[in-house]
Structure 1
Amino acid sequence: MRRNAAVHLLFGLVAVLAVAGTIWAVEPVAHRPVKLAEPVEINVSAALGLKDALQEIQTEYEAANANVKLVFNLGPSGVLQKQLEQGVPADLFISASMKQINELQSKNLVVPSTRRILVNDKLVLIVPQNSQLVIESFQDLKTVTRFGMGEPATVPAGQYAMELLKGIEVWEAVKDKAVQAKDVRTIISYVETGNVDAGIAFSTVAALSDKVKVVSVAPDGSHTPVMFPAVAMANSKHPKEAAAFLDYLCGPQSAAMFQKYGFSFVGSGQ
């Protein structure tokens, strides 16, 4: 009897150990991967002349702010204005002229208290690097066959150029020689290829090309100062994040990047 009891006890212990082994052998339940929040997209409609500086600013800002993705819509300021009026999504607008922002403000499409002037630029007269023509001043446009400038209706560089030429009283004499471009970089292309004898463009954009040279800089007071203002859009879906990026654009990191590309940094409200 004692022997049978011992056998039964032994079998019982084996069974218990087997069950225990089965329990401990069960693999732990795998943790479900945590789904990271998608970055907030900040849509910025910006003047094409700022392209290179903004690309570098974007790289630095996104590296420091993993929760934000910047999406730029670059183009002529007048075209961007029309897009914004038609409801194209945007959190910020950076123009190459006050005109576009003033008009958007008159339609209650921007937040007036957020207006900032980011940078200033210069208006310059350029010719092909190998030009043999004697062109030394804006007055000399009277002697050329054709010259390039932006479309005054949509391109701020063209607005400034027309204002300048009217101010020095040569517009009537040269307006029929003007080849109007859709944006400031196209003006540079016209001059580079020799399709025009000269062009009126922003200094910072002209400096990007080694195929053109500056022969004259518009004197102070000859036209409205070239300013690149920024403002938050009234229908922004992410006003907090947009405000943070606008502050960054007005800060020292962005100042260094704008200055690298030849802009005069302002970064102040107005």
Structure 2
Amino acid sequence: MRTVLLAFLLACSMPALAAERILVFAAASTTDALQEVGRAFTKEQGTVVEFAFGASSDLARQAVAGAPADVFLSADTAKLDQVEKAGLVQAGTRVELLSNRLVVVVAADSKRKVTSAAELREVKRLALADPAAVPAGLYAKSWLEKAGVWKELEPRVVPALDVRAALSAVEAGRVEAGVVYATDAAQSKRVRVALTVPEADGPRIVYPVAALARGKASAAGRAFVSFLQGASARSIFERHGFVFVPGKARP
């Protein structure tokens, strides 16, 4: 009886072991797919995945400033370059993971037709993720510059915090059109795709990922980056409309 009581008291005095957790910084456009991938990773490996979604530019600044993220999935290479130059990328973990397409969206009930970038001249307000900093906006600006209409359209651009905010502006009717990723447009029933930007006309869109050195669970971060490149994650990403393009990791 005394032994049983002692064991009980010891058990009560020991804190329950908490599941390991990782913090993943990720581009806003990956929200729906990556949350599903996170659940699959937790089910398989037991590690809880917490996400911070937003503009890659903001997330890169936070990482460099000291935020303890374990993984960074950026919507372009430049933002991950910033983090890597700060010495925060774990060697050998950086890899190109996904690609996407740009589309022009209008409200679902809009009668507007858009068959080319030139026809956006008729739009009074055009929503983009901030073209001065956010990857989706930078990609859109690149396309419009190539089409020769950026200078004319720039005064009408309504910059948004990130690509999801640009989509929301179209959904709410605050602007006549927006340029977002195809994957974001696919998540909304309140917009329709008026134009899919041909791959030959648009910029190459790349989402690189890497495990970071300042996180609190570096090994689990590496494991998550590996999981992102596997068959389970690929199936989820492709179902959400992403193009899966894992490349060779950097040394």
Q: TM-score scaled by structure 1?
A: 0.85
Matches within 5 A, 1:107-122: 107-122=86-101
In the TM superposition, residue 267 of structure 1 has moved relative to its aligned partner by 2.5
The structure 2 residue matched to 1:74, chosen from 53, 56, 72, is 53
Partner of 1:241: 220
The structure 2 residue matched to 1:196, chosen from 157, 160, 175, is 175
Matches within 5 A, 1:184-223: 184-223=163-202
Instruction: Extract unaligned runs of 5+ from structure 2.
Output: none
Partner of 1:59: 39
Partner of 1:261: 240
Q: What SS is found at the alignment partner of 1:164?
A: helix
Counterpart Cα distance in 2 of 1:195 and 1:27: 72
The structure 2 residue matched to 1:43, chosen from 5, 13, 23, is 23
Percent of counterpart pairs with the same letter?
A: 32
Partner of 1:153: 132
- List 4+ stretches of structure 1 deviating above 3 A: none
In the TM superposition, residue 210 of structure 1 has moved relative to its aligned partner by 1.1
Counterpart Cα distance in 2 of 1:133 and 1:53: 30
Instruction: Extract unaligned runs of 5+ from structure 1.
Output: 1-25
Residue 130 in 1 paired to residue 109 in 2? yes
Q: TM-score scaled by structure 2?
A: 0.91
Partner of 1:16: none
Aligned length: 244
Q: 1:28 to 1:240 in 2, by over 3 A?
A: closer
The structure 1 residue matched to 2:159, chosen from 171, 175, 180, is 180
CA contact (8 A) 2:39 2:49 kept: no
In the TM superposition, residue 148 of structure 1 has moved relative to its aligned partner by 0.7
Greater relative contact order structure (CA < 8 Å, 6+ sep): 2
In the TM superposition, residue 79 of structure 1 has moved relative to its aligned partner by 0.5
Q: Name the amino acid aligned to 1:110.
A: V
Counterpart Cα distance in 1 of 2:28 and 2:118: 28
CA contact (8 A) 2:106 2:176 kept: yes
CA contact (8 A) 2:107 2:173 kept: yes
Q: What SS is found at the alignment partner of 1:267?
A: coil
Q: Name the amino acid aligned to 2:99.
A: N
